[in-house]
Structure 1
Amino acid sequence: MIYWQLFLAFFRIGIFGYGGGPTMVPLFYAECVQKYKWVSEEDFTDNLALANALPGPIATKLAAFIGYRVKGWSGALVANCAVVLPIVLVMIALLQVIYQWKDAPGVYGMVQAIQPVIAVMTGVLTWDFLQKGWQGAGNKSGVALMLVLSLVALLFLDLHPGIVVGIALAGSFAYSTWVLRKRKTPGGKEGAA
């Protein structure tokens, strides 16, 4: 029964996740956190951040993580196959048709109409994550500084998002290491910061 639920949940994500990884994230959240409660919001947020930092498609990484959490390696396999299957079937069945009719006004209008919906879904999820990150942050000025620096790097310096994520990971690691070392007293025991 659980394998069937895993398959159906991830198959639905694959069907309705038009546009790739970023559009699938809200669907993952709705299915895996809200509907089935396979993972907590904190686990989902943490693993979404990790999935964004690692190379490759975000959908397969989230499917593997959640499937593994639910039923081990076999759950990860079922979840990954289910999330990829609709994409493969649609590509095989419709690629030639879309290629033949790509300039038709109806097809072009359909593709253009879905883009604002994807932007709104992604924006809402981003706002939710920003609020949760802000509430859980011990150093709010550090979070604000990272947000501003990330925006400057992406919008004005035109840095690749992967580079920005890499810099943020390295900076976060260096800062957390510094904080842990600062807490240690000369005798090697931890003290209050």
Structure 2
Amino acid sequence: DWVSSVAISADNRFIVSAGYDKTVRLWDRKTQQPIGPPLQGHSDWVCSVAISADNRFIVSAGNDKTVRLWDRKTQQPIGSPLQGHSGGVCSVAISADNRFIVSAGDDETVRLWDRKTQQPIGSPLQGHSDWVRSVAISADNRFIVSAGYDETVRLWDRKTQQPIGSPLQGHSGGVSSVA
């Protein structure tokens, strides 16, 4: 079925992919062969994957309204699914220091999660008026950027969880990706 997201490890040793078949898959970059069986746990298609900077864990986001953490070496889930979105989760990103995860979804929100406790950090970031399709985190972990079908890109202060300035406008259609 469709592949919806890919990520490559910081050390270029492995690739992670996700798709409409409800799985997350690891691949050896050099041999281009699968590493172990598919990671299963999502009950609907997997929209997005990210790899921690230290390559120790993988995060996946699904249309089943959950975010899941996986141990890269054991390929087993870490804790329970992160729940809080009221719609499909379309995008995930991991901070450079591996301390927090950002997710975005069809419920028009961006959410921050503490990676260790797997609990929400603060309230959902609200400001988009349609599905939020993509999130990214600045290298210094100070800013979050989000993009949505409301044709805007928004910049957020991670610590205060408040928007910075007005939405960036100019697209004449939904914005599906930011970096």
TM-score greater than 0.5 by the shorter chain: no
> What is the TM-score with the length of structure 2 in the denominator?
0.22
Larger relative contact order, structure 1 or 2 (CA cutoff 8 Å, min sep 6): 1
Larger strand proportion of the pair:
2
Larger helix proportion of the pair:
1
> What is the TM-score with the length of structure 1 in the denominator?
0.21
